[in-house]
């Protein structure tokens, strides 16, 4: 595809449920980033992959959040026991390599009710 | 950690020039990005500065002073479509970018 693709675009879930958010980066991009963004704020860093490994996961807020990128391409962000405070737009971005501009997907709007 | 400050809101007139400032404190600085984000859309890349000085790209220019921890984005000949949020992001040598909360620019006729 031409750009970063994220699915689903919208997800409404009940408090306590498990959700998976998918990111399909631009082909050949080795760096992949997950951010989340609340209204009126900038993107908040969650985790960064270089290839298959998580180079920096310091932004994951707690152990309910986990992300994988098993083949160095598609990544999945997994959230267990969702809470209302998890509601936000989850943005994925990819770069040809680290230290270059990031190309963002349209995001997944997660609403926990 | 990082501390990035930008004004929350700015208003300017169509055809005018506006400067959006960003100050930062960080360790392991490796460059600074500016992104534009229209409401409900994803951020898109505008500029990248790693050395001190001014980078010009059409109507948009970006300036960096590493010693002062300061950058600005300059938008010339403002158009209505420039109404958006402008995000300053600091890149560290660990390879990740940390964003400020953005400056919402409103361009009025």
Question: Average pLDDT in the B29-55 region?
Answer: 95
Question: Residue A77: which of A87, A65, A89, A88 has the closest Cα?
Answer: A65
User: With contact defined as beta carbons under 8 Å apart, do A90 and A110 qualify?
Assistant: yes
B31 touches chain A (CB under 8 A): yes
pLDDT of A1: 53
Q: Which of A5-9, A89-93, B91-95 has the lowest mean pLDDT?
A: B91-95
B39 touches chain A (CB under 8 A): no
Q: What is the dihedral of CA B10, B11, B15, B19, to 10 degrees?
A: -20
pLDDT of A98: 76
Runs of H (alpha helix) within chain A: none
pLDDT of B1: 54
User: With contact defined as beta carbons under 8 Å apart, do A48 and A31 qualify?
Assistant: yes
CA distance A106 to chain B (A): 5
pLDDT of A23: 98
A26 touches chain B (CB under 8 A): no
Query: Closest to A102 (Cβ–Cβ): which among B31, B94, B97?
Result: B97
Scan for tokens 């990128």, then name that residue. A69
Contact B30 A106 (CB under 8 A): no
User: In the predicted model, is pLDDT for residue B100 greater than 80?
Assistant: yes
Structure tokens at B47: 């500029």
User: What's the DSSP call for residue B66?
Assistant: T
Query: Closest to B33 (Cβ–Cβ): which among A55, A101, A106?
Result: A101
pLDDT of A97: 81
**Which of B95, B98, B102 to probe by mutation at the A interface, max A CB count within 10 Å?**
B95
pLDDT of A99: 79
Contact A42 B44 (CB under 8 A): no
Question: Average pLDDT in the B42-71 region?
Answer: 96
Instruction: Report the C-alpha gap between B9 and A82 in whole angstroms.
Output: 33
Q: Please state, as a whole number, how many other Cβ atoms lie within 10 Å of the Cβ of residue B21.
A: 15
Question: Average pLDDT in the B50-66 region?
Answer: 96
Contact B95 A48 (CB under 8 A): yes
pLDDT of A16: 98
Query: Chain A 35-74, CB below 8 Å of chain B: which residues?
Result: 35, 40-45, 48, 50, 55-56
Structure tokens at B78: 């403002």
Reported as a single tens digit per residue, the pLDDT across A47-83 is 999 989 888 999 999 999 999 999 999 999 999 999 9
User: Mean pLDDT of all residues in chain B?
Assistant: 95
**Which of B2, B39, B43 to probe by mutation at the A interface, max A CB count within 10 Å?**
B43
């Amino acid at each position: 595809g031409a750009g970063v693709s994220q699915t689903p675009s919208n997800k409404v879930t009940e408090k306590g449920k498990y959700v998976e958010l998918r990111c399909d980066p631009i082909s050949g991009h080795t760096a992949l980033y997950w951010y989340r963004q609340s209204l009126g704020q900038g993107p908040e860093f969650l985790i960064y992959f270089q290839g298959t490994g998580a180079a920096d996961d310091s932004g994951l807020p707690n152990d309910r959040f986990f992300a994988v990128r098993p083949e160095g391409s598609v990544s999945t962000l997994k959230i267990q026991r969702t809470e209302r405070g998890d509601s936000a737009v989850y943005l994925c971005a990819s770069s040809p390599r680290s230290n270059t501009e990031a190309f963002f997907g349209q995001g997944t709007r997660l609403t926990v009710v | 950690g990082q501390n990035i400050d930008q004004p929350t809101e700015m208003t300017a007139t169509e055809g005018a020039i506006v400067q959006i400032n960003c100050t930062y404190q960080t360790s392991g600085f490796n460059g600074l990005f500016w992104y534009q984000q229209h409401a409900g859309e994803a951020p898109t890349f505008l500029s990248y500065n790693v050395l001190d000085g001014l980078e010009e790209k059409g109507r948009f220019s970006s300036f960096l002073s590493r010693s002062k921890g300061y950058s600005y984005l300059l938008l010339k000949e403002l158009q209505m479509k420039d109404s958006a949020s402008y995000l300053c992001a600091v890149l560290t040598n660990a390879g990740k970018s940390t964003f400020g909360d953005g400056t919402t620019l409103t361009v009025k006729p």
